[in-house]
Copies of this chain bind each other. A is one copy, B any other.
Amino acid sequence: MEARLRDILKEHDLKVTPVRLQVLEVLATSEVALSHHDISNRLSDDSVDKVTLYRTLHAFAERQLIHKVPSDGPNGLYAFRLSHDAHAHFICDGCERVYCTPLPEAARPVAPTLTAGFQVTTQDVRLHGYCPDCHA
């Protein structure tokens, strides 16, 4: 496990450190997008400074190891990047959790020609609803 994480960091030109290994493990094994607070809580070593965690997240995002997820709430969410393809974010209106899911080719909106002059480069879809746990 840890050997695999070491490799991921090296492949992205990131120095291997205990903090980074832990943070990466938390993100790589989570099914949902996590906030700074969430991650901090899940770290086995609870003495990691908050600033260090922010900087770690920035470094990971810069190297495309993770990505920041647009959220409705006030604080940022981060998720491990599975693929670079267009994907969707499923936001559960029950538990507020955000699932980062692949989006079938067929369900992708074709970049529409909006009002003339708007040039679309990338797009992403946000789905609201209820996750398995919250399904009424």
A residues with CB within 8 A of B: 68, 70-72, 74, 76, 88, 90, 93, 99, 101, 103-104, 106-112, 114-132, 135
The answer for the CA separation of A74 and B128 in the assembled complex, in Å, is: 21
How many chain copies does the complex carry?
2
Distance of A92 from chain B, by nearest CB (Å): 8
Chain B residues with CB under 8 A of A115: 101, 132
Q: Name A121's contact: one of B71, B99, B124, B130 (CB within 8 Å).
A: B130
Chain B residues with CB under 8 A of A110: 106-107
A-B contact pairs, 21 of them (CB 8 A): A70-B71, A70-B72, A88-B112, A90-B114, A90-B118, A103-B109, A106-B110, A106-B112, A107-B109, A109-B109, A114-B127, A116-B132, A117-B131, A117-B132, A117-B135, A118-B129, A119-B135, A121-B130, A122-B128, A123-B126, A124-B125
The answer for the CA separation of A117 and B131 in the assembled complex, in Å, is: 6
